[in-house]
Chain A
Amino acid sequence: GEKVEQHESTLSVREGDSAVINCTYTDTASSYFPWYKQEAGKGLHFVIDIRSNVDRKQSQRLIVLLDKKAKRFSLHITATQPEDSAIYFCAASRNNNNRIFFGDGTQLVVKP
């Protein structure tokens, strides 16, 4: 089955800098790539997604890039703020199939 790997288990940046979290996947049929954020003691909260028909998507300070050839996708958070501190999970699934496979998470710390 699909295996999603997050390369950074922890990431520390200074407030105002950019943060980049990288993920790879194995299933060439995967076509939907959501990102979720988890704050302490809470469930996951959807932040942004990208589908395989595009290679870039932006929502305010969040940018997602997708490289289908390399089976790699990444989340870029620009102008980071302390409230961006959380665990971020990348995930992948096939079209018309909500069996979503998650990475192990990246703990992002934004230092003031």
Chain B
Amino acid sequence: GGIITQTPKFLIGQEGQKLTLKCQQNFNHDTMYWYRQDSGKGLRLIYYSITENDLQKGDLSEGYDASREKKSSFSLTVTSAQKNEMAVFLCASSKTVSNERLFFGHGTKLSVL
């Protein structure tokens, strides 16, 4: 089996700060995703990447950048943290882009003071 590792587990930022979240997978999966989960809500797609160096915008990409420099890693940057923002960011991967099950990391919990 494989694992998805997200770092850090907890991230506290200041308003206006640029913050980077990292994700690594050892499944050798082609496709990776970043989702945002707000309390009591489902997941919303921020960015996904079909393969190394590919980037596709999701439904919530404004205010974020992403980078897929290696097949195994996918990073997400919050370009300017919003005051009182609180959410969990979940990274996931799948073997291909075509209707395959997703494997998730444990999440990075973001709090902005």
Interface residues of A (CB under 8 A from B): 1, 4, 6, 9, 31-32, 34, 36, 41-46, 49, 51, 89, 93, 95-100, 102-105
**B51 vs chain A, min Cβ distance (A):** 13
B99 and A46: CB pair below 8 A? no
Interface residues of B (CB under 8 A from A): 4, 31, 40-45, 48, 58-59, 90, 92, 94, 96-107
A98 and B99: CB pair below 8 A? yes
Across the A-B interface, give the 10 residue pairs with the lowest CB-CB distance, nearest first: A43-B104, A102-B42, A32-B99, A46-B101, A102-B43, A104-B42, A44-B104, A98-B97, A43-B106, A96-B98
**B34 vs chain A, min Cβ distance (A):** 12
B103 and A46: CB pair below 8 A? yes
Q: Residues of B contacting A93 with CB < 8 Å?
A: 99
B40 and A104: CB pair below 8 A? yes
A98 and B43: CB pair below 8 A? no
Q: Residues of B contacting A100 with CB < 8 Å?
A: 45, 102
Select the residue from B40, B99, B106 with max chain A CB neighbours within 10 A. B99
Given contacts A45-B104, A95-B98, A103-B42, 10 further A-B contacts (CB under 8 A): A6-B42, A32-B99, A43-B105, A44-B43, A89-B42, A95-B99, A97-B98, A98-B48, A98-B98, A102-B42
A37 to B58, CA, bound (A): 22
B99 and A96: CB pair below 8 A? yes
Select the residue from B43, B98, B103, B104 with max chain A CB neighbours within 10 A. B43
B98 and A41: CB pair below 8 A? no
Q: Residues of B contacting A96 with CB < 8 Å?
A: 98-99
Given A43-B4, A43-B107, A98-B31, is A34 in contact with B42 using a C-beta cutoff of 8 Å?
no
